[in-house]
Every structure is written in C-alpha cells, then in structure tokens.
C-alpha cells in the first residue's frame, strides 16, 4: 500500500473540463450551493423533479432513531412505473431502452413501450404465482433483457428481489434463498460465457435439493435451449407470460417499502443481505446517473458493463438509467469473446457516448495493448466512468487517452452496495479532474476523513472514510440482523450517526479525496468484494485442511488476488504432492462459493503467524505474498514462524 500512496502523492496532473463541455454541462454549480444551503430541501427537490409520486411526500427525512433512517416516508410511488410507464405516457415509448447483444452475436432492440409491455405481463405472472408485496424473489439470470424485466416486475408488484450473481455456486444460492425465505426463483436454462454454454438451472436445482426452502416455483427463461431436468415446481417463463393478461396497472407503495436485498461480503464468513427501499434509493440512483454522467436521454447511448448481480448493475444498469429514460447497451458475454476487441466493436456499432466500467477491465486492456481499441472508431465516447476499486493514475490516463481520445473526461466514482448510489465523484462539466482521485462528494452527500479517534485529519493526511449525514440511497439495514447493521457500520466512533465505510482515504492539499482501499478483512478482486473469513471457512471445511489464512495480495490486473496459506492435516501430506493439494483446494473453494473466490495461490505451510491472543497476523502474510521484506514480528507468539513460512516458499 505504501508504494501506491507514494505514487499518488506525486500525482499532480489536472484536467479541467473543456469550455465546450462546461458550457453544455447537465449539472450546474447551483447543485452544490443549493445542497450546501439546505441539504434536505435539495434532496426533496430532486425527488420531486426526478420521480413520479403517486402520492407526494410531505416529510423528507426521519433521523430521530439513528442509524434507522426514513426518507420521504409518507410518499407513495411505484418504481417500475417510474422506470417504464411514465416514459411511454410522456410520448417516449418508441425510444430504445435496451440494445441487447448476446455473446454469440444475436441482437434485440427493445423500446420503452416494449419493455413496459413485457414487465406488465411478468407482473401478472408473479401475481398468478401468488407473489405479493413484501415477498422475496430470487433472480439467478445471465445478462439478458429478462433479467431487467424480472427485477422491474418484482418491483412493480411491491415484492423484493434478491439477485444472485450467475457465477455463484449452488451453496451460495441456497444460503441466499434461505436467509431471505424466497418464495420464487427466476432463472434460465443457461447463458453464454467465453463462447460456451454455462448452465444455470442445474445450480438452482441443486440449491433447492434439500427441499427445505419456501420456494414454491422456479420460473425458467429459455436462453440457450439445452436440455434441463424438469421438476413439478418448474414453469417456462415464455409460456407463463403468454398465458396472462397484457394489462397491469402499477399500484403505489410507500417510499420505505423494500425494493431489494443484495448480499455482499463482510468481515465475517456470512454474507450480509444489504436492504434497500424505494423512494430514496431511486432518487439517488436517478440523480447521480443524470449528473455524474452528464446524461442527455434523447441523444446519449449509455453502457455500464457491470453484471446485474452486483450493485453497479442494480443502480446503473436497471434503476438509474431507466428512471432517467436513457438508451443503453446490455451485453451478455465476456470482453474477449469471440475476439479481444469485442467491447470496442460494440461501442463503434452502437455509437456509445457514455461508458462506465471497472479499473480491472481497463488494466486488462492495457496489458493487451492499445492497438486493439485503436482498430475501432471510439469517437462517439464523451464521458468515461470508473467504479469498484481504486484506479491507479496510469490506468486512468490510459483510459482517458486511448479510449477517450484525450477529450472525454474520466470520472472515478466511489460508492458501495451499502450506499446504493454514487457518493464521491467529479461532475464532468464542473470538476477539474485528477488522475486516480474520486475527489469530491456529490451534492447533498457529506463525507469526512477521520483518524481512529474520530478527529478530522486535515488536508495532506490519511485516515478512515466516513459519511457524516444520512443520504437517500443509504442501506436501511442488514436483512434480519439489526444488531450486525449497527455494529458493522455505526459503532466505530461511538457516535451512532457516523457511517464507517471500511475504506481508507487521504485528503490532498486541496481537500480532494483519494481512496486507498479497504482497511478491514475484505478483499477487492477485480472490483468484487470477497471476505477473507468466508474463503478461510471454505478451506477449513475441506477434510484435508487443518487451518487456513487468506490475504488479498496486490495484483497488477485484478487489484488484489486471493492468496491462501494452509496447514494440511498430517495424514494427507504423505501421499499427495503440494501441487495436487493446492489444485484440489482451489477447486473446492470455487465449488463452494463460486469461481471468483478461487485462490490464485495456495501455499502449504506448517504454521501460521499468530499473536499471543491467537489472532492471525495477516499483515505479515501479505508481506510474504507480495514478496516484501517481512514487517514487525515482535507481537507474534512465536517469532520464528515467519522464518519457517518464508523457507517453505523458496
Ligand atoms: C471499493 C461497488 C476506490 C471500496 C460499487 C468499497 C472503490 C467497495 C471505488 C464497495 C472507487 C468502489 N475507488 N475504491 N472508485 N468504488 N470501491 O459494494 O473498497 O461491490 O468499499 O460496490 O469497493 O464494493 P461494492
């Protein structure tokens, strides 16, 4: 981390908006002044301007019982109506909502009118299957239009979706279904990834095999057409949609009605079900999508490359863009299929104007070389966004120069599953950008950097990133666990109204914010959050393993990589080679959690470095994994352990 900080300290380049861009900026400086003058009034105005309220709210925020917030509490709205019907009623039904491209190359252009019609039918199917307001529905789908239709249909009937990333294993699926007591699962036969069919329904079947869940039906989208086992509870999506009425009137729901649960890794082994509600969440998603990306819905073609299984896909594929009536690209597959220029080809083909992606993707393309994007016409791009992990200045500059033709501003956006929407970002027509910095809180959001005692660190110093005032898109809790919600985010400084994000940050001399990565045991691999504890418990669940410690080690492309140190039970060491053991354990983790959690390296060691109180010192293991000289070992119970580990690795 210190090398990275030195690097950032030396970064002094500045890129002001061009006069042409600034002159036409969607965001105006008044956003900042209005929000500073009256933060709650500002959000109330945004909520009224950006959304349709079936019943207008009169109260903006109830913060009398922190950390439990209520925004726009007495207002009523329907999220799907806001994302669909109202655009059609305003005469924009013919505007393309989705340019979908399957990995094998099929395409669909779906207008707002068509999307609305499909969501209405899907909503009727949900009602037919007995799904009512407040019920939880799990969604396990590839990046196909039906994924968005499913989310919006669930929202339309006031139910709660729990989208599970298509790469998760049956065990992870069943843990999520059980935690939320889901009554229905929406999946597909399969999806296309890297030129192959990846099966999805079999994973759901396995997840439900114990027969102990509340799931009554599994609704299956036919995507790939491969054979699937069929159970009594299974129904084909297309048959059900054809069997119901085409009309469906969206009913209003209270602004604090739950919208979704999304599971994310924390510092313990059990993923947390982050709960979001409707009115505040949609306000922030729409506001940030409009102002951070300088959106002009009539002319822009927007593309966010995130999967809907992550929060970025929720807020900036489904809700923000559709609430704003934007036209967007939705791509099913991987960036390098069937050729390494696929993304750039799509940008050329659809004349994409706004691209939102992750540093890990940018670094992968950097490694492949600029000659690949340079084969395509990327001149339509006018705003570039980054999200998911700190972006190093080199990647930021490459993104700006090679992809943005040295003219498109890059906005680095910091936020989390928990924050619901973007919290820190430049606004491209207003802010002079700095390579590698997220820079400034968005209007209406209050951020500070504090030391361990809760004191402001002052310019030029690093500390812990904190949100100091409630914000509309904030998580409303952890599903079923209010105590964990309080402990995890609101207990750090003894002030129940300060939100601790788990990230380190530095304020530069001008007061701009630079993100420095997680300060807890959460890793960030290719922009995906993984918990050291979760992978450790998976490793020790294998019969060969006696003990395991996992660290996130710096990685040039993925930001961090999962590295595990494992003690193997004596009886297994005789007849199996270390390489075979490591391969077995890597496969085991992939099978238990999902391929994204598979350790890059597994080192078989005899001991692990522990303090006298028995806590594993991951800091030292990180030193080893990153090839650094090993730091201070004086608090170790046995100071020779590190010597023995280093020897193992030679
Ligand atoms: C990290 C993704 C630096 C951070 C939207 C945060 C970032 C975690 C940035 C949340 C950024 C996200 N710069 N770090 N621009 N954006 N992060 O919940 O550590 O998947 O706490 O949400 O990603 O990850 P999550």
Domains of the chain: 19-502 (3.40.50.12780), 522-648 (3.30.300.30)
What backbone torsions phi and psi does residue 186 show, to the nearest 5 degrees?
Answer: -110, 120
Distance between CA atoms of 452 and 244, rounded to whole angstroms?
A: 58
Q: Is the CB of 412 under 6 A from ligand 1?
A: yes
The pLDDT, as a whole number, for residue 464 is 97
413 is in an annotated binding site: yes
Question: Other CB atoms closer than 10 Å to residue 7's CB: what's the count?
Answer: 13
Pairing of strands 447-450, 462-467: antiparallel
Q: Is 39 helix (H, G, I), strand (E, B) or coil?
A: helix
Res. 650 pLDDT band, cuts 50 70 90:
low
Tell me if 515 sits within 8 A of 472, measured CB to CB: no
Protein residue whose Cα sits closest to atom 12 of ligand 1: 388
Find all residues with CB under 8 Å of 102, minimum gap 6, and list them: 144, 192, 332, 333
Pairing of strands 354-357, 327-331: unpaired
Q: Is 339 helix (H, G, I), strand (E, B) or coil?
A: coil
Choosing from 360, 416, 417 the residue with most ligand 1 atoms within 8 A of its CB, the one to mutate for a pocket test is 416
Distance between CA atoms of 126 and 137, rounded to whole angstroms?
A: 10
Tell me if 280 sits within 8 A of 473, measured CB to CB: yes
Protein residue whose Cα sits closest to atom 15 of ligand 1: 414
Q: Is 559 helix (H, G, I), strand (E, B) or coil?
A: strand
Distance 257 CA to ligand 1 centre (A): 26
Distance 527 CA to ligand 1 centre (A): 7
CA nearest to 569, candidates 547, 549, 546: 546
194 is in an annotated binding site: yes
Distance 501 CA to ligand 1 centre (A): 10
CA nearest to 463, candidates 422, 423, 515, 428: 515
Distance 323 CA to ligand 1 centre (A): 23
Q: Is the pLDDT of residue 412 over 90?
A: yes
Verdict on whether the full-model pTM lies above 0.90:
yes
CA torsion 559-562-565-566 (nearest 10°) is: 180
452 is in an annotated binding site: no
Protein residue whose Cα sits closest to atom 5 of ligand 1: 416
pLDDT tens-place string over residues 249-287? 999 999 999 999 999 988 777 899 999 999 999 999 999
Choosing from 414, 436, 464, 526 the residue with most ligand 1 atoms within 8 A of its CB, the one to mutate for a pocket test is 414
Distance 287 CA to ligand 1 centre (A): 19
Choosing from 267, 313, 388, 390 the residue with most ligand 1 atoms within 8 A of its CB, the one to mutate for a pocket test is 388
**Averaged over 557-570, what is the pLDDT?**
93
The pLDDT, as a whole number, for residue 1 is 44
277 is in an annotated binding site: no
Distance 417 CA to ligand 1 centre (A): 8
Distance 377 CA to ligand 1 centre (A): 30
Distance between CA atoms of 166 and 310, rounded to whole angstroms?
A: 10
Find all residues with CB under 8 Å of 49, minimum gap 6, and list them: none
% of the chain beyond a pLDDT of 70: 98
29 is in an annotated binding site: no
CA nearest to 501, candidates 529, 460, 526: 529
Res. 2 pLDDT band, cuts 50 70 90:
very low
Choosing from 515, 516, 522 the residue with most ligand 1 atoms within 8 A of its CB, the one to mutate for a pocket test is 515
Q: Is the CB of 311 under 6 A from ligand 1?
A: yes
CA nearest to 442, candidates 420, 421, 470, 466: 421
Q: Is the pLDDT of residue 107 over 70?
A: yes
Residue-averaged pLDDT of the chain: 94
Going 510 to 17 to 34 to 291, the CA torsion angle's sign is negative
Helix (H) or strand (E) holding 197: strand 196-199
Q: Is the pLDDT of residue 221 over 90?
A: yes
Distance 515 CA to ligand 1 centre (A): 9
The CA–CA distances, whole Å, from 7 to 1, 403, 610, 619 equal 10, 23, 32, 21
Most distant pair of Cα atoms in the chain: their distance: 73
């Amino acid at each position: 981390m210190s090398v990275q900080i030195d690097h950032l300290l030396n970064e002094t380049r500045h890129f002001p908006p061009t006069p042409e861009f600034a002159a036409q900026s969607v965001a105006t400086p008044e956003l900042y002044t209005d929000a500073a003058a009256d933060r709650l009034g500002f959000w109330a105005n945004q909520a009224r301007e950006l959304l349709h309220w079936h019943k207008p709210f009169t109260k903006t925020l109830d913060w009398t019982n922190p950390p439990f917030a209520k925004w726009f509490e007495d207002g009523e709205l329907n999220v799907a109506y806001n994302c669909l019907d109202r655009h059609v009623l305003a005469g924009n039904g013919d505007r393309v909502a989705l340019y979908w491209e399957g990995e094998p190359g099929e395409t669909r252009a779906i207008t707002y009118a068509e999307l609305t019609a499909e969501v209405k039918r899907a909503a009727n199917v949900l009602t037919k299957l007995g799904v009512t307001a407040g019920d939880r529905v799990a969604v396990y789908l590839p990046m196909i239009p039906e994924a968005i239709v499913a989310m919006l249909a669930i929202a339309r009937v006031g139910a709660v979706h729990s989208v599970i990333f298509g790469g998760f294993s049956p065990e992870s699926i069943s843990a999520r279904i059980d935690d939320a007591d889901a009554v229905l699962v929406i999946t597909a036969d399969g999806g296309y990834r890297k030129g192959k069919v990846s099966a999805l329904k079999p994973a759901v079947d396995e997840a439900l095999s114990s027969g102990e869940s509340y799931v009554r039906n599994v609704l299956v989208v036919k995507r790939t057409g491969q054979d699937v086992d069929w159970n009594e509870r299974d129904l084909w999506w297309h048959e059900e949609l054809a069997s119901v009425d085409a009309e469906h009137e969206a009913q209003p729901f209270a602004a604090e009605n739950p919208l979704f649960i999304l599971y994310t890794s924390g510092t313990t082994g059990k993923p947390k079900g982050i709960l979001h509600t409707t009115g505040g969440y949609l306000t922030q998603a729409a506001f940030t999508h409009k102002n951070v990306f300088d959106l002009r819905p009539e002319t822009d073609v927007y593309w966010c490359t995130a999967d809907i299984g992550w929060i970025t896909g929720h807020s900036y594929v489904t809700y923000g863009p559709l609430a704003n009536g934007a036209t967007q690209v939705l791509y099913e597959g991987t960036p390098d299929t069937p050729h390494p220029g696929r993304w750039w080809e799509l940008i050329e083909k659809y004349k994409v104007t706004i691209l939102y992606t992750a540093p890990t993707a940018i670094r992968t393309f950097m490694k492949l070389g600029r000659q690949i994007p340079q084969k395509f016409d990327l001149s339509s791009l006018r705003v570039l966004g980054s999200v998911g992990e700190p972006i190093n200045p080199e990647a930021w500059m490459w993104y700006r120069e090679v992809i943005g033709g040295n003219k498109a501003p890059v906005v680095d956006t910091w936020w989390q599953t928990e924050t619901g929407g973007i919290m820190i970002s430049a606004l491209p027509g207003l802010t002079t950008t700095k390579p590698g910095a997220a820079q400034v809180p968005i209007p209406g959001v209050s951020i500070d950097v504090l030391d361990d005692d809760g004191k402001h660190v002052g310019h030029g110093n690093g500390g812990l990133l904190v949100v100091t005032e409630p914000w509309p898109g904030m998580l409303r809790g952890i599903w079923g666990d209010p105590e964990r919600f309080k402990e995890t985010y609101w207990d750090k400084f003894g002030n129940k109204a300060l939100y601790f994000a788990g990230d380190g940050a530095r304020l530069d001399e001008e007061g701009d914010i630079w993100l420095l990565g997680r300060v807890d045991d959460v890793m960030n691999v290719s922009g995906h959050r993984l918990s050291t504890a979760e992978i450790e418990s998976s490793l020790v669940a294998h019969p060969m393993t006696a003990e395991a410690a996992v660290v996130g080690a710096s990685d040039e492309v993925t930001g961090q990589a999962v590295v595990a140190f494992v003690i193997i039970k004596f009886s297994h060491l005789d007849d199996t080679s270390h390489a075979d053991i490591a391969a077995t354990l890597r496969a085991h983790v992939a099978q238990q959690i999902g391929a994204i959690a598979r350790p890059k390296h597994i080192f078989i060691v005899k001991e692990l470095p522990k303090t006298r109180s028995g806590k594993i010192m991951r800091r030292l293991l990180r030193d080893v994994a990153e090839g650094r000289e090993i730091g201070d070992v004086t608090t170790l119970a046995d100071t020779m352990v590190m010597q023995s580990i280093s020897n193992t690795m030679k």
